[in-house]
Amino acid sequence: MEIPATPYTKSGGTNLAYQIFGSGPPVILIPPLISNIELGWDQELYRRVLDYFDRHATVIHFDKRGIGMSDRFDRLPTLEERIGDITAVMDAAGVGRTSLFGLSEGGLMA
């Protein structure tokens, strides 16, 4: 599978990196505490998970604010701000309704 492009969207004043790949019903993949959507493709186990999802769903995954390719923050974001980030990524991807799949710390946001 080819690594998808990494566009950015804004949530408030924060740039969020995201990727879209696969086909099927949409799923937002909410990452764990530490992630990088571009470097994750180099990790064999994580890539296997993404390859599996690719065959069954349209995956929209992103780097949360302060993590990976997204902008850093000067204070810890609230849960409400993080939920707003999910909404911003959904809007940028053109998705009105989706399933959520939270990994580790991403489960709280889901």
Domain ranges (residues) in the chain? 8-109
pLDDT digits (tens, 9 = 90+) for 17-52: 999 999 999 999 999 888 999 999 999 998 998 999
Whole-structure pTM value: 0.93
Question: Is residue 86 predicted with pLDDT exceeding 90?
Answer: yes
Closest Cα partner for 61 from 87, 37, 97? Answer: 37
Percent of the chain with pLDDT over 90: 84
Q: Which helix (H) or strand (E) holds 105?
A: none
pLDDT digits (tens, 9 = 90+) for 57-74: 999 999 999 999 999 998
Fold classified for 8-109: Rossmann fold (3.40.50)
